[in-house]
Amino acid sequence: MSIRFEGRVAIVTGAGGGLGRAHAMGLAARGAKVVIADVGAARDGTGRSLEAAEAVVSEIAAKGGEAMAVGVDVANSTEVDVMVGRALSRFSRIDILINNAGILRDKSFAKMTAEDFRLVLDVHLMGSVNCAKAVWDAMRTQNYGRIVFTSSGSGIYGNFGQSNYGAAKTAMIGLMNVLHLEGRKHDIRVNTLAPTAGTRMTEGLVPPDIFALMTPESITPGVLYLVSEDAPSRVILAAGAGTFARTLITETEGVYFPEAERTPENIAARFDEISDPAKELEIEEAFDQTYKLVSMAAKAMGIEMPKR
């Protein structure tokens, strides 16, 4: 079955280059009308220009597609609201939001200033929050929406010198989990992309021959699936160099300790058992974890748990 986007309207942030441009071009090639949202800043977030966004709009128009350029600082909720208002005024609906805009202020935690930490969180985390919040009511009203947040291996697994970036990127997963629950009755599906791509954000960090494999275009097919009509929801999709994998967060079954045995020494002695992945579970929501943990205690004490 072919995945198409005729009649759909998409906003892609950070779409003036790199991954955002590739996503926007991919959507337009399959029929979507696209809002190219880009502040035109340097990698560290300084400066401002609409030139890159307008160039992408011209590329799309030259191929018969329709797009509009908006210079927007996603960390500024007022600018985001104006952007969404313009998109609704022109296209009457918003079906897809791909949160891709980001900056880097890399330094070891010992050398990083609070300002650099906060600025990266403002752009990545609050920028994604601002954009999702701005389109949320429209998606709820039309009972349809597809949202993608952009995480990173730096957030999921860690990367030296990126405590600010890693914290922001891990936050994308928590935001996805909650919006998945709150949006599902309105058919708003929310997913997270964890890409590794050769862009200006990663240039110089990997050898040139490896960098050449990591094209933004090799990642975009995964994003197009995540925003499609039959998209999943609450998925973390890792992607890079044409390889796609699903990142799963699981929890071991656990070990119950009677009250008299609840000592740090006993936990240390049985930590391998506590960590045993043989019966690990994928937890759907926070109360599922609560239910699992308390059920083990209730079973040991002969208490019947209420059915869910």
Name the residue with higher pLDDT: 204 or 296. Answer: 296
Residue type for position 49: S
Both tokens of 291, joined, read 């239910």
The pLDDT assigned to 2 comes to 96
Calpha distance 220→16 (Å, rounded): 15
Rounded to an integer, the average pLDDT of 291-308 is 86
Are 29 and 2 in contact by the 8 Å Cβ rule? The answer is: no
Record the pTM: 0.94
User: Could you read off the pLDDT of 245-268 as tens digits, one per residue?
Assistant: 999 999 999 999 999 999 999 999
Calpha distance 139→147 (Å, rounded): 10
Q: Which helix (H) or strand (E) holds 95?
A: none
Share of the chain above pLDDT 70, in %: 97
Calpha distance 198→16 (Å, rounded): 15
User: Could you read off the pLDDT of 6-58 as tens digits, one per residue?
Assistant: 999 999 999 999 999 999 999 999 999 999 999 988 877 888 899 999 999 99
pLDDT above 70 for 204: no
Rounded to an integer, the average pLDDT of 71-78 is 97
pLDDT band at 102, cuts 50/70/90?
A: very high
Place of tokens 């960098």: 211
Residue type for position 176: M
The pLDDT assigned to 200 comes to 60
Catalytic option among 144, 157, 165, 256: 165
The pLDDT assigned to 287 comes to 86
Asked about 165 being catalytic, the answer comes back as yes
The pLDDT assigned to 308 comes to 73
Calpha distance 79→71 (Å, rounded): 9
The pLDDT assigned to 167 comes to 98
Both tokens of 295, joined, read 């059920």
Rounded to an integer, the average pLDDT of 192-221 is 79
The pLDDT assigned to 177 comes to 98
pLDDT band at 199, cuts 50/70/90?
A: low
Q: What is the CA radius of gyration of the chain?
A: 22
pLDDT band at 307, cuts 50/70/90?
A: confident
Query: Of 81, 130, 133, whose CA–CA distance to 101 is shortest?
Result: 130
Calpha distance 67→103 (Å, rounded): 24
The pLDDT assigned to 245 comes to 96
Calpha distance 53→72 (Å, rounded): 10
Calpha distance 259→252 (Å, rounded): 21
Rounded to an integer, the average pLDDT of 287-301 is 88
Place of tokens 């922001």: 168
Both tokens of 176, joined, read 């996805």
User: Could you read off the pLDDT of 212-238 as tens digits, one per residue?
Assistant: 888 999 999 999 999 999 999 999 999
Share of the chain above pLDDT 90, in %: 82
pLDDT above 80 for 153: yes
Cβ atoms < 10 Å from Cβ of 121? 17
Are 291 and 308 in contact by the 8 Å Cβ rule? The answer is: yes
Are 52 and 111 in contact by the 8 Å Cβ rule? The answer is: no
* Most confident option among 121-125, 194-198, 201-205: 121-125
Are 191 and 226 in contact by the 8 Å Cβ rule? The answer is: yes
Place of tokens 């039959």: 230
User: What string of DSSP letters covers 193-242?
Assistant: EEE---STTTTTSS-HHHHTT--GGGTHHHHHHHTSTT--SS-EEEEETT
Mean pLDDT of the chain: 94
Both tokens of 60, joined, read 């799309």
Bridge partners, 250 (sequence order): 282
Query: Of 156, 153, 225, 158, whose CA–CA distance to 191 is shortest?
Result: 225
